[in-house]
Amino acid sequence: MNSTREAQAEENKQGGEVSVVLSGCAKDDAGTVFDVLRAAFATDRASVDVPQDVTGKQPTAWVATVDVAEERVVSGSVELAAPVTVDAQGGYWAVERLRHSLAGAFAVRVVGTVFGDQEEEVRLRLASK
């Protein structure tokens, strides 16, 4: 049976992809969060893939997959016009690493968590520091 530390090390070796969904925010704030994520980690969302407004009354959500296996340093806080809701889903180690990195740029508050056998989903609320 693996200890927690051994399990985290094994997960790190396998990579740490986290599915990220942004909602409840303006497209500019979503773009700001994606910029921070791209600066900190490898992501499937290119810098030219900026969030766009969608017509209609449906809620808008923007999605990216972030690989937290190799973290780059992001220094300094980043301004948001309004709070942003982030739903992050992945392995425990990967989601925690994502949350910790976002805390370098934003005030981060955990507003909900769903635990699974090998992964978790966390709802975060990001705001300017």
The pLDDT assigned to 1 comes to 46
Q: Give tens-digit pLDDT for 26-75.
A: 889 999 999 999 999 999 876 666 666 666 666 678 899 999 998 787 77
Alpha-carbon span 86 to 53, nearest angstrom: 18
Alpha-carbon span 109 to 67, nearest angstrom: 22
**57, two tokens:** 């009354």
- Count the Cβ atoms, other than its own, within 10 Å of residue 103: 14
Q: Give tens-digit pLDDT for 84-93.
A: 999 999 999 9
Question: Rounded to two decimals, what is the model's pTM?
Answer: 0.81
